[in-house]
Structure 1
Amino acid sequence: MKIFKKIVALPTLILVALFSCSSGDSGDKNTPNTTSTVVINTEIVGITTLLPNGNGTGVVKFNVSPNNATSYKIVFGDGETLETTTATFTHTYTSSGTKTYEVQVTAFDGLKYFSATKSIVVFVAPTEVWGDEFDVDGAPNSTKWGYDLGAGGWGNNEPQYYTNRLDNAIVQGGVLKIITKKENYSGSSYTSARLLSKGKFSFKYGKVEFRAKMPSGGGTWPALWMLGDNIDTASWPACGEIDAMEHLGNQMNKIYGTLHYPGHSGATADGSTTMISNADTEFHLYSVDWRADYIKFYVDNQLFKTFANTASTPFNDKFFLIINCAIGGNFGGTIDPNFVSSTFEIDYVRVYN
C-alpha cells in the first residue's frame, strides 16, 4: 500500500512543477521580457517625399501598445530618457543632421516588465542658438563678451598685455577688430585683446562657425577656440580645450586645429593642420562640429580633422568661446623686429544646435 501511494503522488508533483514554469513569472519581475508583444509606433513630424526623415524640427510622436500598462520607461537613443504612465508621448531630437536613433521602451504591467526596441532616422535642421554679427560699431557687446586682462600669456611666455581698450578691440564696419600693437604698456612691450564668453554664454555640443581674416607679421598668433566651463575648478588641461583655428605669422596660410586634454596637451596635443591661401587678405570660414561621438574640424567647409569623442574625455560638458591674438611666446615664435601693428578681423561667430 505505501508503494502505491508514492507512485500516484509523483505525477501530481510533475504537473504542479510544469504549471508553475508555464506562468511566465521567473520570480525576477525586474527582468525585461524581450519576446513580448510591445510595439513602438512612431510618427516623425513633417515627413514628405522630399523630406523622408521629417521637416527638420526633430519632433517625433510615439504611441506604444499595449496602452494599458502601469508605467513605461523610454530610452530615446540621444541620451534622454522618460518615465511616464501614458502610452502616448512626444520627444524632440536636437542634434542637427540626419541621424539614426535606437529607441527602447520598457512597459510594466504591475507584475512583469516587457520591452521592445525600434530604430528611427530623424532629420534636425541646424538652428542658430547664439551668435554675434558685430554689426554695431564701438566696444564689443558686453552682454556677450568679457575680457581676460594681463600679461605673460598664462604660461606661454608671451610679451603682450591684454587690455579692454578700444585701441585693441573694437567693432567697426561690421567686423570685430583685435589689434596687436608694439607699444610699452604696464611693463609689456606689446598690447592686444582676448575676448571670451565665459559667464555669458556656454554650450554643450553643436556647431560653431567663425568667419575671419588673419593678421600678418612674424610672431602674430591669432586663435579662435573654446575652454571647458569648469576651468576654475578642474584647471587646465582637465577642463579640455578645443582650438577651432590657430595661425602663426611665421607659418603663413597653415591652419591648426587642436584638442588639449589630459595626456594630450601643450607640445603633445592632439592636432592636425591644413594649408589655405590668402589667409591674411581674405575671409575664410573656420568651424568645429562637436558631438558626443566625434569632433570635426573644417576650413571653408572642408574637413581636415576628425576626433573620436568618448565618455572618458572632457569634451562632454559645456564650453565657452574665446577670440584673441597673441604675439611671440612659446608657439608664436620670433617676432619680426619691424613689426608695428596688425589686425585680426572676425566677421561673425555663430553657434548652431
Structure 2
Amino acid sequence: MKMINLANRAGVLTLILLFVFQSCSSNNDTTDTPVVVAPDKISVEVDVVGKTAEMPNGDGSGKINLKIDAPNAKSYKVVVNNETKEFTSSSFTYEFTQPGTKTYTIDVTAFNGIKYTNTSATVNIFVARKLIWSDEFNTDGAPDSNKWGYDLGNGNGFGNNELQYYTNRPENVKIEGGLLKITAIKENYQGSQYTSTRMLTKGKFSFKYGRAEIRAKLPAGGGTWPAFWLLGDNIDTAGWPLCGEIDILESVGNNPNVIHSSLHSPGRSGNTPDTKTTTAPNSTTEFHIYAAEWDAENIKFFVDDNLFYTYKNSSTTPFNAKFFVIINFAMGGNFGGAVDPNFQRATYEIDYVRVYN
C-alpha cells in the first residue's frame, strides 16, 4: 500500500508539473508585445487669427491656432519664438507679443512613446502695440500714489554731486491743468541750495521689452538737468551699474535743445561710450515726444518718432530683465554743470508717460 501511494503521488506531481509547463509555454506564445510605430504623415495647419485679404498677417492680436495631424501620435512638442511647449492635444494656441510684422518658424515634433517625427512651418504675423501702463496726469493735485513713489533726500546721495534736495512737496511736484509739473526752486532746504523732485514706479510697475515714451516740455536755465529713464528692478540686490540703466531723455540747460540718450552697464558706466545725441528745436517752449523701443536685439531711441540711435542688445547685457520708470529734475552736478547765478526756478512739464508692449 505504501509503495502504491508513493507511485500515485509521483504521477500526480508529474501531471501538475506538465500542466504548469504547458500553461507557461502557452502564455508566452500568446502574449502580444505592443508595437510602437513612429507617427507618420505629419502636417501642421497654422491659422492666423483675424487674417483677411486686407490683413494677411492677422488683426494685430498676434494670435495663431495650430492644428497638428500625425497618425499614431500621443504627445507633441512645439518650439516657437524660443519657447518650448509640450502637450497631448493636437490643437495649440499661441500669442506673439513683439510688436510689428515678423516671420517666425514653428518646429513641431509628434511622439508615440520613444518614436517621433517632426516638421516645421513658418508664419508671418502682425502684432499691434498695446498700451500696458500710462499716466495721463488729468487729475489735479498730487501724482497717483498707486503709480508713483519718490526718492527723497540730498542730491549728493545719488552719485552725481547734484545740488538739489528731492522732496514730494506740492511746491516741487503737482498735477495742474492736465500736466505733471516738477519745479526746481532755488532755496535753502535741509542744507541744500535747491529743491526738486525725483519720482519713480519702483515696486509699483516694471516691464521687460516694449516702448516707453514721454511727451514733455523741458525747463530752461543754466544748471537744469531733466531726465526720463529706466532702471533695472534688481538695483537693490545687484547694485549699479550691474542692474542696467536706459536713459531715454537727458538734457542740460547749459547746452539747450541737445537731447542725450545713453545706456549704462558693467564696464560702461559713468562716462559711457553707449550714447548719442540729437536736437529738439525749441525744447523749452514746445512739447516733444521722447521714446525708446526695446527688445532682445535692439534698443532704439527717438525724438518725435525720428530714430537717431540704435544700440545692439545681446544676452550678455543687463537689458533683458524688468525695468522701472523714473522722472527727475536735477540741478548742477557732474552732468548739469554750473548753475546760472540768476536762476530762481524752472518747471519740467509732462503731458503723459506711456508704456506699450
1:51-62 equivalences in 2 (<5 Å): 51-62=55-66
Q: Does 1:49 align with 2:53?
A: yes
Structure 1 unaligned segments of length 5 or more: list them: 1-23
Matched letter for residue 121 of structure 1: N
1:1-353 equivalences in 2 (<5 Å): 37-66=41-70, 68-77=72-81, 79-151=82-154, 152-353=156-357
Matched letter for residue 43 of structure 2: V
Three-state SS of the structure 2 residue aligned to 1:120 is strand
Please report how far the alpha carbon of residue 308 of structure 1 lies from its aligned counterpart in structure 2 after TM superposition: 1.2
**Alignment partners' CA distance in 2, 1:317 and 1:41:** 34
> What percent of counterpart residues are identical?
56
Matched letter for residue 163 of structure 1: T
Three-state SS of the structure 2 residue aligned to 1:123 is strand
Aligned CA-pair RMSD: 1.7
Structure 1 stretch 225-234 or stretch 38-47: which is displaced more? Answer: 38-47
Does the 8 Å contact 2:205/2:324 carry over to 1? Answer: yes
Against the structure 1 CA distance between its residues 204 and 67, is the aligned structure 2 distance closer, same or farther, given a 3 Å change threshold?
farther
Does the 8 Å contact 1:153/1:160 carry over to 2? Answer: no
Q: Which residue of 1 aligns with 2:31?
A: none
Please report how far the alpha carbon of residue 128 of structure 1 lies from its aligned counterpart in structure 2 after TM superposition: 0.4
Three-state SS of the structure 1 residue aligned to 2:104 is strand
**Alignment partners' CA distance in 1, 2:195 and 2:300:** 33
Three-state SS of the structure 2 residue aligned to 1:131 is strand
Listed one character per residue, the Cα deviations across residues 314-341 of structure 1 (whole Å, up to 9, x for unaligned) are 1111000000000100000111010000
**Alignment partners' CA distance in 1, 2:284 and 2:55:** 41
Q: TM-score, normalised by structure 1?
A: 0.88
Please report how far the alpha carbon of residue 67 of structure 1 lies from its aligned counterpart in structure 2 after TM superposition: 5.3
Three-state SS of the structure 2 residue aligned to 1:256 is strand
Against the structure 1 CA distance between its residues 153 and 213, is the aligned structure 2 distance closer, same or farther, given a 3 Å change threshold?
farther
Please report how far the alpha carbon of residue 115 of structure 1 lies from its aligned counterpart in structure 2 after TM superposition: 1.9
Against the structure 1 CA distance between its residues 193 and 76, is the aligned structure 2 distance closer, same or farther, given a 3 Å change threshold?
same
Larger Rg: 2
Which 4+ stretches in 1 moved above 4 angstroms?
Answer: none
**Alignment partners' CA distance in 2, 1:283 and 1:232:** 34
Please report how far the alpha carbon of residue 268 of structure 1 lies from its aligned counterpart in structure 2 after TM superposition: 2.3
Does the 8 Å contact 1:158/1:327 carry over to 2? Answer: yes
Q: Which residue of 2 aligns with 1:19?
A: none
Structure 2 unaligned segments of length 5 or more: list them: 1-35
**Alignment partners' CA distance in 2, 1:111 and 1:268:** 53
Matched letter for residue 148 of structure 2: W
Please report how far the alpha carbon of residue 261 of structure 1 lies from its aligned counterpart in structure 2 after TM superposition: 0.6
Structure 1 stretch 144-153 or stretch 106-115: which is displaced more? Answer: 106-115
Does the 8 Å contact 1:67/1:86 carry over to 2? Answer: no
Does the 8 Å contact 2:225/2:336 carry over to 1? Answer: yes
Please report how far the alpha carbon of residue 269 of structure 1 lies from its aligned counterpart in structure 2 after TM superposition: 4.0
Three-state SS of the structure 2 residue aligned to 1:103 is strand
Please report how far the alpha carbon of residue 37 of structure 1 lies from its aligned counterpart in structure 2 after TM superposition: 4.0
Structure 1 stretch 104-113 or stretch 210-219: which is displaced more? Answer: 104-113
Matched letter for residue 69 of structure 1: A
Does the 8 Å contact 1:237/1:265 carry over to 2? Answer: yes
How many residues of Structure 1 are paired with residues of Structure 2 in the alignment?
322
Please report how far the alpha carbon of residue 39 of structure 1 lies from its aligned counterpart in structure 2 after TM superposition: 2.1
Does the 8 Å contact 2:216/2:287 carry over to 1? Answer: yes
Please report how far the alpha carbon of residue 234 of structure 1 lies from its aligned counterpart in structure 2 after TM superposition: 0.6
Three-state SS of the structure 1 residue aligned to 2:59 is coil
**Alignment partners' CA distance in 2, 1:213 and 1:68:** 65
Three-state SS of the structure 2 residue aligned to 1:268 is coil
**Alignment partners' CA distance in 2, 1:59 and 1:134:** 33
**Alignment partners' CA distance in 2, 1:96 and 1:67:** 36
Please report how far the alpha carbon of residue 259 of structure 1 lies from its aligned counterpart in structure 2 after TM superposition: 0.6
Does the 8 Å contact 2:74/2:113 carry over to 1? Answer: yes
Listed one character per residue, the Cα deviations across residues 117-169 of structure 1 (whole Å, up to 9, x for unaligned) are 22211101111010000000000100000000011151100010000101111
Q: TM-score, normalised by structure 2?
A: 0.87
Does the 8 Å contact 1:67/1:87 carry over to 2? Answer: no
Three-state SS of the structure 2 residue aligned to 1:312 is coil
